[in-house]
């Protein structure tokens, strides 16, 4: 069963006439890349070795495969929403070759055996590296610390309670201390649980007008502020997921200037959409954290540009139609994000907010470095994980026609420029 990929991998592949983009080294130049044995063998001006397959990129952009720090999978437990195979299909169609999976599956990834099951299912797809987070607390309930040593040994990339905040300060202090002892970090969903409970939209004029229960913007900054204090206390590394407010970003910027081990990511909805997207009660735009006012969106864009934000993650949350076709306040929060990750990020390049290399760094080399991975760069000896894309080619996001099982896109109807033409994982073409 595995012979075909191995045979194809044995033949070297030369991709020539490409615009090579390597954010790690700052390379942006025409050239070629030689792949052999699952690795990059050479980059630059290369003559095809004897017996090599040759692909003409026709001037398209060739970059490292995207490294997605945050995605949920329906498997195990919610395969009707999505399977690991359908996630891998959508990821490779989006140019993503590494996906970090959240632990709040059913059962939760607080058991080494379940974590290894997810790892094996990811490997079996042959399309992506699927790297699961271990649960920070047992059952992701925020009370009792999980077995970090055993989970790390089983392959946990870091620790998180996924879509739930670790609300108890003592528990978070222990989590940061334990993760530090194992050379790892804790990913926090930064939303003060008591303040955000039952909320469906950002508190303010729009939520009031729509009659929706609100979540104050301060709920994010409050938990960020607390966890920065705990990082200072423990010397541990806290990573804040999908940061969405100006106030929280200001706290993170200050913590970084102080030299604390504080990092963060955001997701495309928080720099491409604002809260007006939920008008007419569009449940596809119901997210967690909720979409924010325009001033916060602009603050996220500024934090991408000045380096405060370390990575852009898809924040992929698969839901089926039954989860979403409910009154807005009752509908599940979260949107699919794998197929749109590159295109929506490139909108900030086309809009002049980010350079192409800076945008790609947030999707490749910077998350790879944060996670301690060898991927995310075009360099001899690095994994042959690549994405070939056309920077200007347009396409439209259509829920119902996206790759994979999950179709709940907050970007439904959005026109994008930047189309994935091909994806390679360990030197094997898995899309295009």
* Domain harbouring 27, CATH code: 2.30.40.10
User: Do residue 42 and residue 77 come from a single domain?
Assistant: no
For residues 12 and 98, state if they share a domain.
no
Q: What six digits make up the tokens of 159?
A: 């620790």
Res. 10: pLDDT tops 90: no
Based on the domain organization, do 38 and 80 belong to the same domain?
no
Residue 409 lies in a domain: no
Specify the pLDDT at position 6: 39
- Does some domain include residue 407? no
- 254 in any annotated domain: yes
pLDDT in tens, 186-210: 999 999 999 999 999 999 999 999 9
pLDDT at position 281: 95
Mean pLDDT of the chain: 96
Q: Which of 129, 296, 315, 323 is catalytic?
A: 315
- Can you tell me the mean pLDDT for 365-381? 97
Alpha-carbon gap, residue 241 to 189, rounded angstroms: 6
Query: What does the angle CA 88 – CA 138 – CA 182 come to, to the nearest 5 degrees?
Result: 80
- Split at pLDDT 50, 70, 90, the class of 321 is confident
Q: What is the pLDDT of residues 220-260, one digit of tens each?
A: 999 999 999 999 999 999 999 999 999 999 999 999 999 99
pLDDT surpasses 90 at 336: yes
- Is the domain of 90 the same as that of 234? yes
- Residue at 312 is within a domain: yes
pLDDT of amino acid 359? 98
Judge whether 272 counts as a catalytic residue. no
**57 in a structural domain:** yes
Which pLDDT belongs to residue 2? 33
Q: Are residues 275 and 288 in the same domain?
A: yes
Q: Is 218 contained in some domain?
A: yes
CATH code for the domain in which residue 241 is found: 3.20.20.140
What is the average per-residue pLDDT within 348-373? 98
| Percentage above 70 pLDDT, the chain | 98
pTM for this model (two decimals): 0.96
What is the percentage of the chain residues whose pLDDT exceeds 90? 96
Q: Which domain does 31 fall in, by range?
A: 3-62+384-391+414-431
Say whether the peptide bond before residue 76 is cis (omega within 30 degrees of 0).
yes
| 405 domain residue, yes or no | no
Number of structural domains the chain divides into: 2
Residue 404 lies in a domain: no
| pLDDT over 80 (residue 7) | no
The reply to whether 183 and 46 lie within a common domain is: no
Residues 146 and 285 grouped into a single domain:
yes
Claim to verify: residue 44 and residue 70 sit in the same structural domain:
no
Give per-residue pLDDT as tens, 77-107: 999 999 999 999 999 999 999 999 999 999 9
Asked if 30 and 157 sit in the same domain, the reply is no
Q: Are residues 186 and 320 in the same domain?
A: yes
Note whether 20 and 146 are same-domain residues.
no
Rounded to an integer, what distance in angstroms lies between the CA atom of residue 20 and that of residue 386? 11
Q: Are residues 314 and 240 in the same domain?
A: yes
Give residue 404's pLDDT: 93
Q: What is the pLDDT of residue 5?
A: 41
| Three state DSSP letters for the chain | CCHHHHHHHHCCEEEEEEEEEECCCCEEEEEEEEEECCEEEEEECCCCCCCCEEEECCCCEEEECEEEEEECCCCCCCCCCCCHHHHHHHHHHCCEEEEEECCCCCCCCCCHHHHHHHHHHHHHHCCCEEEECEECEHHHCCCCECCHHHHHHHCCCCEECCCCCCCCHHHHHHHHHHHHHCCCCEEECCCCHHHHCCCCEECCHHHHHHCCCEECCHHHHHHHHHHHHHHHHHCCCEEECCCCCHHHHHHHHHHHHCCCCEEEEECHHHHHCCHHHHHHHCHHHCCCCCCCCHHHHHHHHHHHHCCCCCEECCCECCCCHHHHCCCCCCCCCCECCCCCHHHHHHHHHHCCCCCHHHHHHHHCHHHHHHHCCCCCCCCCCCECCEEEEEEEEEEECCCCCCCCCCCCCCCCCCEEEEEEEEEEECCEEEEC
């Amino acid at each position: 069963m595995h012979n075909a990929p191995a045979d194809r991998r044995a033949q070297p592949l030369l991709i020539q006439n490409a615009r090579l983009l390597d954010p790690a080294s700052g390379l942006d130049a025409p050239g070629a890349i030689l792949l052999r044995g699952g690795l990059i063998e050479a980059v630059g001006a290369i003559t095809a070795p004897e017996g090599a397959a040759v692909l003409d990129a026709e001037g398209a952009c060739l970059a490292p495969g995207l490294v997605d720090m945050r995605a949920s999978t329906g498997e195990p437990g919610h395969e009707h929403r999505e399977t690991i195979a359908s996630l891998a299909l959508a990821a490779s169609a989006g140019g993503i070759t590494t996906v970090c999976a959240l632990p709040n599956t059913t059962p939760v990834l607080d058991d080494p055996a379940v974590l290894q099951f997810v790892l094996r299912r990811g490997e079996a797809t042959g399309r992506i590296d699927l790297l699961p987070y271990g649960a920070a607390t047992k059952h992701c309930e925020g009370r009792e610390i999980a077995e970090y040593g055993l989970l790390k040994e089983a392959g946990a990339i870091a620790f998180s309670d996924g879509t739930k905040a670790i609300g108890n300060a003592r528990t978070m202090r222990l989590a940061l201390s334990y993760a530090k002892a194992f050379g790892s970090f804790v990913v926090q969903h930064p939303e003060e649980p008591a303040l955000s409970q039952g909320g469906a939209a950002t508190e303010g004029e729009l939520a009031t007008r729509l009659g929706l229960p609100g979540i104050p913007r301060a709920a994010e900054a409050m938990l960020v502020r607390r966890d920065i204090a705990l990082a200072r206390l423990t010397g541990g590394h806290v990573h804040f997921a999908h940061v969405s407010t100006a106030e929280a970003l200001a706290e993170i910027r200050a913590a970084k200037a102080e030299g604390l081990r504080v990092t963060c990511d955001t997701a495309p909805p928080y720099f491409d959409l604002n809260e007006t997207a939920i008008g007419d009660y569009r449940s596809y735009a119901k997210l967690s954290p909720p979409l924010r006012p325009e001033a916060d969106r602009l603050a996220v864009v500024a934090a991408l540009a000045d380096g405060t934000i370390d990575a852009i993650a898809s924040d992929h949350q698969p839901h089926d139609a039954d989860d979403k076709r409910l009154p807005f306040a009752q509908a599940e929060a979260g949107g699919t994000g794998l197929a749109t990750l590159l295109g929506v990020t490139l909108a900030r390049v086309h809009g002049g907010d980010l350079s192409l290399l800076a945008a790609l760094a947030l999707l490749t080399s910077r998350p790879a470095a944060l996670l301690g991975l060898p991927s995310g760069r075009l360099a001899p000896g690095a994994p042959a994980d690549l994405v070939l894309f056309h920077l200007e080619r347009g396409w439209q996001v259509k829920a119902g026609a996206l790759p994979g099982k999950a179709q709940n896109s907050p970007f439904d109807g959005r026109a994008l420029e930047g189309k994935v033409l091909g994806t390679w994982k360990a030197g094997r073409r898995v899309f295009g």
